[in-house]
């Protein structure tokens, strides 16, 4: 048996993931329809026999190509790990644990997000509706903090974007603010970015947090505000967290809501005013549609049966992780041919 295994683990109270890409030998797959007919004693003409042989050959090639593609992903990941380890050694930072790349790239500018939806989101309707229902709660004198937690690439930011741009949500708030936090939880920077959404004034030269918050309060007082803090990493202490939220808790606050996305369950539990929304893998049907969109450019793709066989095998072993679908799809979509996928 051929086994190509790519693992990434994440553990929390309700989540214990272990992602594995496993490709077995072609013998382990169910036979095609023509094989079944032969096994049941049906008479096969020479023409049908030749066609059956060609189909079997194509199917075996498809399974072998799936194995080769997964091996390429594993090799690329290994090379990336080695490169990062070398850079860290040069800077005296020591080695990087396998598949712990997310913590070392948290401040990468390429990871910056915005409120704009980049692509169609598959699934997550239940989570979206539940979060929006929490936002409707009648709590005019308090701030509601709703954490979304899950492993990297599971769709936290995409879910927050869908909620942020939902028409019903827009109608609930006077202001909507989107901020990418990452590993730099700087109260001054975050407050200045909040001001960019609610004020036309430029606070050039003002570095005092107290002064910036005084200005912010004048704009958000008596206004209902939605604040998205995306990709929060720091294990923020209560003092810094309360300091950042002070303007949204002013005497005239009107049911402000904060949505926080984070990979850290401990952060989600401490700052949330409701239980964290823990994102699990996508359901099989939703994930297959996403995978086809990433690999073929069309969720309804049916043109090449052999590529569909390969895609189904790879998708099954990506365990519903959207980022994994995008990464594999990027490699596969370069050319939709058996030759390209084989080489």
CA distance 201 to 218: 12
Residue 196 has pLDDT above 50, yes or no: yes
Q: What is the pLDDT of residue 50?
A: 60
Which is higher by pLDDT, 76 or 90? 76
What mean pLDDT do residues 174-201 have? 91
Of 284, 268, 266, the residue nearest 276 (C-alpha): 268
Residue 26 has pLDDT above 80, yes or no: no
CA distance 68 to 60: 12
CB-CB contact of 226 with 171 (8 Å) = no
CA distance 205 to 53: 75
Q: What is the 3-state secondary structure (H, E, C) of 36-53?
A: HHHHCCCCCCHHHHHHHH
CA distance 32 to 34: 6
Q: What confidence category does residue 234 fall into, taking pLDDT thresholds of 50, 70 and 90?
A: confident
Of 221, 223, 213, 164, the residue nearest 192 (C-alpha): 213
311-328: pLDDT as tens digits? 888 888 889 999 999 988
Which is higher by pLDDT, 269 or 337? 269
Highest averaged pLDDT of the listed ranges 52-61, 74-83, 265-274, 299-308: 265-274
Q: What is the pLDDT of residue 301?
A: 84
109-128: pLDDT as tens digits? 557 887 787 778 899 999 99
Q: At what angle do helices 322-332 and 284-296 cross, to 10 degrees?
A: 30
CA quadruple 297, 303, 307, 313: dihedral sign: positive
Q: What is the pLDDT of residue 329?
A: 86
Share of the chain above pLDDT 90, in %: 40
Which is higher by pLDDT, 254 or 225? 225
Q: At what angle do helices 305-316 and 322-332 cross, to 10 degrees?
A: 150
Lowest pLDDT segment from 143-147, 176-180, 246-250: 246-250
Q: What confidence category does residue 38 fall into, taking pLDDT thresholds of 50, 70 and 90?
A: very low
CB-CB contact of 304 with 292 (8 Å) = no
**CB-neighbour burial class of residue 187 (10 A; exposed 0-12, middle 13-18, buried 19+):** middle
Q: What is the pLDDT of residue 98?
A: 36
Q: What is the pLDDT of residue 333?
A: 85
127-166: pLDDT as tens digits? 999 999 999 866 666 789 999 999 999 999 999 999 999 9
Burial 136-155 (b: 16+ CB within 10 A, else e): eeeeeeebbbbbbbbbbbbb
Residue 268 has pLDDT above 90, yes or no: yes
CA quadruple 9, 10, 12, 15: dihedral sign: negative
Q: What is the 3-state secondary structure (H, E, C) of the chain?
A: CCCCCCCEEEECCCCEEEECCCCCCHHHCCCCHHHHHHHCCCCCCHHHHHHHHHHHHHHHHHHHHHHHHHHHHHHHHHHHHHHHHHHHHHCCCCCCCCCCHHHHCCCCHHHCCCCCCCCCCCCCHHHHHHHHHHHCCCCCCCCEEEEEECCCCCCHHHHHHHHHHCHHHHCCCCEEEEEEEECCCCHHHHHHHHHHHHCCCCCCCCCCHHHHHHHHHHHHCCCCEEEEEEEECCCCCHHHHHHHHHHHHCCCCCCCEEEEEECCHHHHHHHCCCCCEECCCCCHHHHHHHHHHHHHCCCCCCCCHHHHHHHHHHHHCCCCCHHHHHHHHHHHCCCCCHHHHHC
Work out whether strand 8-11 and strand 257-262 pair parallel, antiparallel, or are unpaired. Answer: unpaired
Residues in contact with 166: Cβ distance below 8 Å, sequence separation at least 6, in sequence order: 128, 132
Q: What is the pLDDT of residue 6?
A: 37
Lowest pLDDT segment from 60-69, 127-136, 229-238: 60-69
Angle in degrees, CA 299, 304, 309, rounded to 5: 80
Q: What is the mean pLDDT of the chain?
A: 75
Q: What confidence category does residue 71 fall into, taking pLDDT thresholds of 50, 70 and 90?
A: low
């Amino acid at each position: 048996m051929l086994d190509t295994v790519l693992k990434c683990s994440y553990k929390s109270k309700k989540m214990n993931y272990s992602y594995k890409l496993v490709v077995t030998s072609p013998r382990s797959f169910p036979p095609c329809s023509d094989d079944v007919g032969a096994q049941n004693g049906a008479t096969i003409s020479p023409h049908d026999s030749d066609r059956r042989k060609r189909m079997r050959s194509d199917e075996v090639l498809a399974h072998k190509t799936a194995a080769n593609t997964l091996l390429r992903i594993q090799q690329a990941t290994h090379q990336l790990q080695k490169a990062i380890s070398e850079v860290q050694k040069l800077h005296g930072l020591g080695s990087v644990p396998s598949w712990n790349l997310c913590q070392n790239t948290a401040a990468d500018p390429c990871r910056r997000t915005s409120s704009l939806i980049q692509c169609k989101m598959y699934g997550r309707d239940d989570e979206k509706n539940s979060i929006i229902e929490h936002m409707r709660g009648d709590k005019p004198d308090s701030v509601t903090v709703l954490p979304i937690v899950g492993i990297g690439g599971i769709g936290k930011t995409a879910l927050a974007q869908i909620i942020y741009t939902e028409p019903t949500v827009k109608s609930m708030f006077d202001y909507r603010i989107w901020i990418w936090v990452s590993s730099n939880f700087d109260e001054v920077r975050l407050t200045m970015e909040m001001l960019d959404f609610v004020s036309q004034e430029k606070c050039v030269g003002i570095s005092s947090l107290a002064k910036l918050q005084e200005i912010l309060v004048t704009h958000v007082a008596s206004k209902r505000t939605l604040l998205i803090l995306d990709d929060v990493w720091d294990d923020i202490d209560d003092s810094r967290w309360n300091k950042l939220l002070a303007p949204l808790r002013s005497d005239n606050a009107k049911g402000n809501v904060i949505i926080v996305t984070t990979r850290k369950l401990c952060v989600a539990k401490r700052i949330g005013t409701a239980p964290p929304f823990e994102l699990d893998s996508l359901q099989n049907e939703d994930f297959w549609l996403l995978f086809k969109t990433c690999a073929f450019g069309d969720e309804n793709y049916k043109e090449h049966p052999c590529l569909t066989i390969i895609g189904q095998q790879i998708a099954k072993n990506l365990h519903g992780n959207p980022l994994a679908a995008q990464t594999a799809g990027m490699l596969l979509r370069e050319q939709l041919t058996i030759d390209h996928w084989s080489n």
